[in-house]
Structure 1
Amino acid sequence: MAKCDEGYLCEVCGEPVKAIVESDLYLRYVIGEIDVAELAASPERHQRCNPTMAQFIVDEKFEPVTVEGPFSKAELDRDDVKAREELVTRGWRRLREVRKLGLPISDYPLESAAR
């Protein structure tokens, strides 16, 4: 099978990232952590395979992720955690929205995403 036919494989677990709604790469793009040029060159992961990011998704439709140790949000400043939760959760919700709207990729990022 050609590489392009394999889809995007998670660099952590090796399984395919089958949908944009489970993509850590696209979540980071939507919240402004990477730009569009980096999408093709950056490794892909499932959101849950990047627990340091996934712990900030706070939505009843997302099973919470807990991180132990120095990267745990429990170890961080409460105000910073709240701001990060708000941003990452909005990005997670945005991924579900763009999938349904048929938007061009340039319109995926949140309006408030820093570039």
Structure 2
Amino acid sequence: MARCDQGYLCIVCGEEVENIEDSGLYLRYIIGEVQEAELQEQPEYHIRCNPALAQFIVDEQFTPVTIEGPFDKRELDPDEARQRDTLVTEGWHRLQSVKQEQLSVSEFPLKRKTNDS
């Protein structure tokens, strides 16, 4: 079956990432780690297949993920970990709503607050 018939396959588990709500690639796009032009070039994966990212989603609707080792958020500065929790959780909330809100891809990213605003 051609890739276009299968959709995007997770580079970790090999299964299809069937729903955008489970997309680690689009979560990273929403939080500003991937640019729109890179979406077709970057590998896809399920959010849970990337525990280094998934551990920062703090929401009762998302079963917590913990990891051990150098990427464990508990090893980070507590302020850095809280900031990352906030960013990734807000991104995950946004990802859960993009389909329902029928947003265009360019509308997915979070609006970043700057010191000037």
Task: Write the deviation string for residues 41-60 of structure 1: whole angstroms up to 9, x where unpaired.
Answer: 00000000000000000000
* TM-fit CA distance, 1:74: 0.7
Which residue of 2 is the match for residue 28 of structure 1?
28
Return the alpha-carbon distance in structure 2 between the equivalents of residues 2 and 8 of structure 1: 11
Superposed CA RMSD in Å reads 1.2
* TM-fit CA distance, 1:2: 2.1
* TM-fit CA distance, 1:63: 0.4
> How many residues were matched structurally?
114
TM-score, length-normalised on structure 1?
Answer: 0.96
Q: Which consecutive residues of structure 2, in runs of 5 or more, have no partner in the other structure?
A: none
CA contact (8 A) 1:32 1:109 kept: yes
Return the alpha-carbon distance in structure 2 between the equivalents of residues 113 and 23 of structure 1: 24
Which residue of 2 is the match for residue 2 of structure 1?
2
| CA 63–113 in structure 1, closer or farther in 2 if over 3 Å, else same | farther
Which residue of 1 is the match for residue 45 of structure 2?
45
Q: Which consecutive residues of structure 1, in runs of 5 or more, have no partner in the other structure?
A: none
* Overall identity of the aligned pairs, in %: 58
Between Structure 1 and Structure 2, which shows a larger proportion of helix residues?
Answer: 1
Q: Which has the higher contact order (CA 8 A, sep 6+)?
A: 1
Return the alpha-carbon distance in structure 2 between the equivalents of residues 41 and 113 of structure 1: 28
